[in-house]
């Protein structure tokens, strides 16, 4: 039967033709061949991801996400009588997406003892990045706070069950009275930025807790139930948990303003001040960086995986558009130059996906070598995928022509979001210096990386030649000024190694030819000699 509720195509001046019909519900799991292969390779929970892929791909979820971005968070500092509230109000769509993420185990799955728990979590990050990346922020911090809390077993006993509860409870109440809780982070100060050792917030001991006084230049998701933060205690820089709500009322964490950001619109990022706020110590005084680094390490997994989701969303939109649009009497998808562009974008997206899952696999490993490899692989993945995401998304946007620049499509949102994960938890220079430090201070990390790269020797002569060239160029670690070049080379080799292990021949060979063997120009789509039909079959 004809759809009598569809919008009218026959208008008074023309008939609407050659415009793809909006997709409605989509299945982010069954519709993504590359994801399913990577999930199987990494041991992720396919049944859980099938359920989540259908939920995150529903038209209802996309509508909630659009509403959460369009009706931005609102700062409510005072009530009508002038009393401090220090609250942020969100559109109901924000809460709906938060609930979806928590109930599908975004913050919980990795800590429930399942095999492939971190890989499953990584796939949920990938889904969320396609739908509403801003809401990933509080979910990611909640996931990543769990290992840091082990530094204080008493606090962990109270907080971890609430952080991993597979529920969402936005009520303003102390953590003991809630079904579930979320955790944020507040480290950066104006004078220090990434140099947190320059922090000036003061922590004064008072019985079984401390009082914090100072400012924080960035505090995202300020309606979380608690925050891990750094402050100067008598014994040096120390990590603390600051509850948002206390049994006796509101903690004195004051919101100063919300940040007016390029993107990430659904998420509230703020500047805050602690006015003798009550805080509880995590770890020993003077060991703040060592304590909170576990949270940072796990948030980096998400900042390595999110660009893969952003790229996938852009690629999916571009493929859908060119498959349903014609120009010059031919469908766009059938035109050779468009196919070259789309195939090159597919290589970029699948490499980012493989790097993210490769790092997640290492997070799931139990051996010390796995942990060492996780530290180096996640840094390499975060660096290269976030450098590639903006250019890839711009090119995907161009596939839509003028429509790619219109807010009714997801492309502008994806473009605005693309730089964020490269900045969050260490910008490019910081990550490259961390890579060099890790390889110097942790010989096991260097050994694990080289072992993984060498394990794929003999599978492709061009890969073998590229690895030899890398080793010849840097028989030892490079000087600091070459850190980016070194990181790019190592990351490309690691992506190629993972793609070889995934055994998708057209993609692996195409990536090696274009990224390692020089069969590519400087712009997307400037390629030759690759199996374009085989690569694009991945999108069918």
Domain locations in the chain?
33-285, 290-539
Q: Which residues pair with 184 in a beta bridge?
A: 227
Cβ distance 214 to 196 under 8 Å? no
DSSP code of residue 179: S
d(CA 256, CA 253): 10
Of 268, 217, 260, 216, give the one whose Cα is nearest residue 242. 216
Residue 515, token pair as written in the block: 């990224």
Whether CATH 3.50.50.60 fits 33-285: no
Of 531, 501, 509, 419, give the one whose Cα is nearest residue 37. 501
Number of Cβ within 10 Å of residue 254's Cβ equals 17
Token look-up 């600051």 returns 242
Cβ distance 38 to 352 under 8 Å? no
Q: Residue 499 — φ and ψ, nearest 5°?
A: -65, -35
Pair type for strands 209-220 and 326-327: unpaired
Walk along the chain (540 residues) and give the pLDDT tens digit of each residue.
566 688 888 989 998 888 888 888 999 999 999 999 999 999 999 999 999 999 999 999 999 999 999 999 999 999 999 999 999 999 999 999 999 999 999 999 999 999 999 999 999 999 999 999 999 999 999 999 999 999 999 999 999 999 999 999 999 999 999 999 999 999 889 887 777 878 899 999 999 999 999 999 999 899 999 999 999 999 999 999 999 999 999 999 999 999 999 999 999 999 999 999 999 999 999 999 999 999 999 999 999 999 999 999 999 999 999 999 888 889 999 999 999 999 999 999 999 999 999 999 999 999 999 999 999 999 999 999 999 999 999 999 999 999 999 999 999 999 999 999 999 888 999 999 999 999 999 999 999 999 999 999 999 999 999 999 999 999 999 999 999 999 999 999 999 999 999 998 999 999 999 999 999 999 999 999 999 999 999 997
List alpha helices for 203-335, DSSP H: 288-323
Whether CATH 3.60.15.10 fits 290-539: no
């Amino acid at each position: 039967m004809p759809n009598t509720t569809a919008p009218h195509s026959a208008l008074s001046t023309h008939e609407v033709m050659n415009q793809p019909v909006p997709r409605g519900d989509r299945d982010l799991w069954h519709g993504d061949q590359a994801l399913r292969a990577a999930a199987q390779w990494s041991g992720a929970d396919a049944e859980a991801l099938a359920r989540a892929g259908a939920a995150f791909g529903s038209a209802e979820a996309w509508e909630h996400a659009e509403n959460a971005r369009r009706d931005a968070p609102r700062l409510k500092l005072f009530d009508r009588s002038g009393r401090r509230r220090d609250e942020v109000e969100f559109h109901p769509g924000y809460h709906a997406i938060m609930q979806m993420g928590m109930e599908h185990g975004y913050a919980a799955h990795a800590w429930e003892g399942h095999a492939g728990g971190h890989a499953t979590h990584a796939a949920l990050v990938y889904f969320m990045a396609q739908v509403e990346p801003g809401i990933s922020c509080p979910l990611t911090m909640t996931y990543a706070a769990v290992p840091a809390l082990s530094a204080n077993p008493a606090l962990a006993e109270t907080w971890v069950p609430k952080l991993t509860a597979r529920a969402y409870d936005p009520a303003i109440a102390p953590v003991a009275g809630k079904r579930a809780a979320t955790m944020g982070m507040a480290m950066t100060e104006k004078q220090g930025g990434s140099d947190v050792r320059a922090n000036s917030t003061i922590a004064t001991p008072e019985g079984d807790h401390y009082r914090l006084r100072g400012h924080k230049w960035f505090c995202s998701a300020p309606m979380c139930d608690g925050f891990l933060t750094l402050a100067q205690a008598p014994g040096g820089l120390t990590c603390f948990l600051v509850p948002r709500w206390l049994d006796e009322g509101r903690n004195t964490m004051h919101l100063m303003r919300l940040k007016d950001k390029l993107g990430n619109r659904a998420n509230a990022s703020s500047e805050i001040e602690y006015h003798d706020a009550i805080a509880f110590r995590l770890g020993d005084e003077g060991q703040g960086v060592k304590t909170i680094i576990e949270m940072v390490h796990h948030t980096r997994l998400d900042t390595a995986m999110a660009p893969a989701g952003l790229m996938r969303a852009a690629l999916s939109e571009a493929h859908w558009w060119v498959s349903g649009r014609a120009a010059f009497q031919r469908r766009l998808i059938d035109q050779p130059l468009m196919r070259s562009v789309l195939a090159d974008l597919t290589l970029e997206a699948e490499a980012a996906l493989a790097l993210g899952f490769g790092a997640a696999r290492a997070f799931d490993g139990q051996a010390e070598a796995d942990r060492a490899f996780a530290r180096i692989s996640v840094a390499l993945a975060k660096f290269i995928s976030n450098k590639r995401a903006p250019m890839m998304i711009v090119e995907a946007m161009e596939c839509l022509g003028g429509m790619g620049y219109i807010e009714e499509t997801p492309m502008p949102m994806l473009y605005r979001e693309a730089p964020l994960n490269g900045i969050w938890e260490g910008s490019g220079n910081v990550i490259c210096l961390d890579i060099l430090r890790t390889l110097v201070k942790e010989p096991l990390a260097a050994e694990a990386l080289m072992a993984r790269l060498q394990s794929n020797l003999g599978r492709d002569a061009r890969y073998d030649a590229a690895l030899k060239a890398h080793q010849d160029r840097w028989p030892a670690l490079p000087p600091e000024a070459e850190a980016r070049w070194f990181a790019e080379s190592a990351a490309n080799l690691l992506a190629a190694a993972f793609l070889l292990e995934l055994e998708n021949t057209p993609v692996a060979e195409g990536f090696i030819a274009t990224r390692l063997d020089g069969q590519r120009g400087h712009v997307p789509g400037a390629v030759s000699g690759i199996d374009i039909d085989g690569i694009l079959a991945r999108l069918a």
